[in-house]
Amino acid sequence: MFDRFLSEREKLIAEYRLTEEERRALLEIDFRSLYEMGVHSLLLGPLAATLGLSFPDYLAILRGNQP
């Protein structure tokens, strides 16, 4: 699932019943929106690390301060 999220996100997302805003947040990997929608932080933190985002930058995004 995680590998598919990284390699063919659009196709994966299409398989789920999601709102327009949920789809957008997932496609753009909008960490702050995803967190506010209720995605668990221990899914988001490791995802940020996998994408090469530093932990302080990731936290800044969650807090609404774009790094």
Partner 1 sequence: MSLVGAFAASHAPGITGRPSLPRVSESEPIFRAYEDLRSRLEAARPDVLVVISPEHWANFFLDNMPSFCIGIGDEFSGPTDEKFVNIPRRSVRGNARLARALVEGIAEDVDLSTSQEMAFDHGVMLPLHLLRAELPVIPIIVNCLAGIPAPLHRCHALGVALRRTMDRWPERVVLLGTGGLSHWPAMPESGQIGVDFDRRFLDAFLNGRIESFLHYPKEKLEAEAGPGGHEIRTWITVAAAAAGARGSLLAYQPVQAWSTGCAVAVLEIGEAAR
**What sections of 1-67 are H helices per DSSP?**
2-7, 9-14, 20-28, 31-37, 41-50, 55-62
How many other β-carbons are positioned within 10 Å of the β-carbon of residue 29? Answer: 16
Decide whether 9 or 45 has the Cβ nearer to partner 1: 45
Q: Which residue from 40, 57, 66, 67 is in contact with partner 1, where contact means CB under 8 A?
A: 40
Q: Minimal distance in Å, beta carbon 26 to partner 1?
A: 16
Q: Which residue from 19, 49, 66, 67 is in contact with partner 1, where contact means CB under 8 A?
A: 49
Q: Which residue from 22, 42, 57, 67 is in contact with partner 1, where contact means CB under 8 A?
A: 42
Residue 30 to residue 67: CA distance in whole angstroms: 13
